[in-house]
Structure 1
Amino acid sequence: MLIPPDDHVLLLAESWLKLLSDLGRAPATLTAYRSALHHYFSFCSQNSIEPEKVRFEDLAAYISP
């Protein structure tokens, strides 16, 4: 079952991307980061993981493939 991240998690992610934009990061970099976050949030959803409560083991499972 897919569980979408809470709105506050998405808001934090977008706030972080806005900060990077304000610091002058290239649009392509922001697009890549946004895509990576979307991929990570999808992984969390598929594995019933709350992104803000991730454990080391969860991150290891995410990056292992």
Structure 2
Amino acid sequence: MSGTVTLENKWPVLGRHAQATEWLRLWTDLGRAPRTIDAYARGLSEYLQMCERESVDPLTATRAHIGIYVRELTERPSLRGPNVVSIDSGAGLANATTAQRLVSVRLFYDYLMEEGLRDSNPVAGADIRPVGATVGISVGLCPG
């Protein structure tokens, strides 16, 4: 599929995970818009990079690993630089962006379950809810 080649060129980590490539191919074959596929690929590739850094096989990842990924997203320095004047000082991705990245990971784990490669989805308990005075993402601790 030509879209996958482009995505693998953009995010080489996808080429190192056959299930990721298969999952993105499925979404493309189902007629999802190219920008949707691109967004899914970005979120999944960032997650797979975290898995590689942490020496975690995505097929055996736990909620704790999802928590690491979410923490990385919410603490990432802003690309806008230190001159941004805002309450949260430009740290981390916007909540909507973080949620969108997490959706791609949740859908990927749904696919792995459908394919019989996992018994549970470690993202299934994640939700967006208020944390203190700001909105944040929390990963539930219920079994999954």
TM-score by length of 2: 0.37
* Aligned with 1:56 (options 63, 77, 95): 63
For 1:12 and 1:49, locate their aligned partners in 2 and report how far apart those are by CA, in whole Å. 15
Tell me the equivalent position of 1:37. 44
- Aligned-pair RMSD on alpha carbons? 1.8
Spell out structure 1 runs of 4+ moving beyond 4 A: none
RCO (CA 8 Å, sep 6+): is it higher in 1 or 2?
A: 1
Count of residue pairs brought into register by the alignment:
59
Structure number with greater Rg is 2
For the residue of structure 1 that corresponds to 2:55, the secondary structure is coil
Report matched runs for 1:21-36 at 5 Å. Answer: 21-36=28-43
Gapped runs of 5+ residues in structure 2? 1-12, 75-144
Give the TM-score normalised by structure 1.
Answer: 0.76
Q: Which residue of 1 aligns with 2:114?
A: none
Matched, 1:18 2:25: yes
User: How far off its partner does 1:14 sit?
Assistant: 1.0
* 1:32 positional shift: 1.2
Q: Tell me the CA shift for residue 26 of structure 1.
A: 0.3
More helix by share: 1
In structure 1, the gaps of 5 or more residues are none
User: What displacement does 1:62 show?
Assistant: 1.2
